[in-house]
Amino acid sequence: MSGYGGGFDSSDTPSRGGGSSSDGNKPRRNYDDQTLIPVTIKMVLNALGDPSGGSDLSLKDGRPLHMVKLVCAVRSSEERSTNVFIDVEDGTGLTQVKVWVNEGDECSAIAQLRTAAGREHTYIRVIGQIRDFDGQRQIVANDIRPVSSGNELTHHLLEVAYSYEKYLKMQSSNASIMGGMGMGIGIGNMASMAPLQGGGGGGMGMGAQGFGGGGGGGGGGGGVDNAVVQVIRTLGVNEGSGIHVNTIIGEVTTQGYSAAEIKNSINTLSNEGLIYSTIDENHFQYAE
C-alpha cells in the first residue's frame, strides 16, 4: 500500500485467481523505464502515445514515462465512494488526479492527509502514473501529500530542469561515441519551463556538446571545451579530489590554446554543469 490513499487501478493489476491474466504474456517492463521523472502538467498533456497502440507514453525528448512527480495547486475536488477526483494546475496546464480510497485500510493519519490534500487553493505533491480515460488524460496517484513550503515548488521546477538537462547530456555523450556530433537542444524551448527562463527566451538552454571521437560541434568554446573536458575526464579517474586549474592549463596549452581561452572554457563548462568544483574553486571533476 502506498503512503497515501492505498488504492490501485484495477485495470493495471493482474487477476489473482487461478487462471492466467490477460497480460500474462506481456513482457516485464524494463527496470530502467520505471524511473520517477519530475514533470510539469504541460509535459504530461503533451506526452506522446505508443505508436504500436500500447499504453506506454513518452516525453517529446524521448524519455519513457512510467512514474511521474508533480507539484501543483488544487483547484477543485470531488469525492466519490471509491475515489477522489482532484483538478490541479501548476501554471503550465490543468489536469485531473485520481486517488483511490480504501476506507477500511486507511489509518486516521492517512485520512487526514487525504482531506488536507483535497482542499482547494492548496499545493500538493503527487506521485503517480499517467493514464488516458475516455479521451482525457489523468494521473492515477500512488502518493499525494500537502506541500508544506513554497520552496518545494521552486525545488520541483529546478528538478524538472535538471532532469531534462541531465538527459540531454547523456544523449550528447552517446552521440559523441557515435562520432562526436552535438545535439544543440536547450531547455529554453520548453514552454512548460517558462517560470525558469530568463528574459528574451534565453532560459536555461544548454548547447549539448560532443566530446572525443571526431570532435563534434558543441557549445560556445568548441575545440577548447572538448580539450578541457578530455583532460579532466582522463586525469580525474585517479584524482578523486579533482584536477587543479594549473594542471588543466598545462595540459591543454600543448594543444595550442592560450591560458585565457582555457580559463574561459572552464568557467563555461562549470556554468553548464558539465564539470564541477570539488575541494575548492580551483579543482574540477567531470560530471558523469
> For the chain, what is the domain count?
2
pLDDT given at position 220: 41
> In sequence order, what DSSP letters do the residues of 129-147 get, joined into one string?
EEEEETTEEEEEEEEEEE-
Given a cut of 60, whether residue 216 has pLDDT beyond it is: no
Written as one letter, the residue type at 285 is: Q
pLDDT given at position 268: 84
Q: Which CATH number does the domain housing residue 270 bear?
A: 1.10.10.10
Given a cut of 80, whether residue 122 has pLDDT beyond it is: yes
Domain that holds residue 241: 181-286
The reply to whether 223 falls in a domain is: yes
Contact by Cβ (8 Å): 156, 71: yes
pLDDT given at position 288: 62
Give Dmax (Cα) for the chain: 73
SS3 state at 38:
strand
Both 26 and 131 in one domain: the answer is: yes
Mean pLDDT of 90-108: 77
- Give the strand pairing for 283-286 and 243-244: antiparallel
The 10s digit of each residue's pLDDT in 162-176 is 888 888 777 776 655
- Comparison of pLDDT for 4 and 224, the residue scoring more: 224
Q: Which CATH number does the domain housing residue 62 bear?
A: 2.40.50.140
pTM over 0.75: no
The confidence band for 110, taking pLDDT boundaries of 50, 70 and 90, is low
Written as one letter, the residue type at 220 is: G
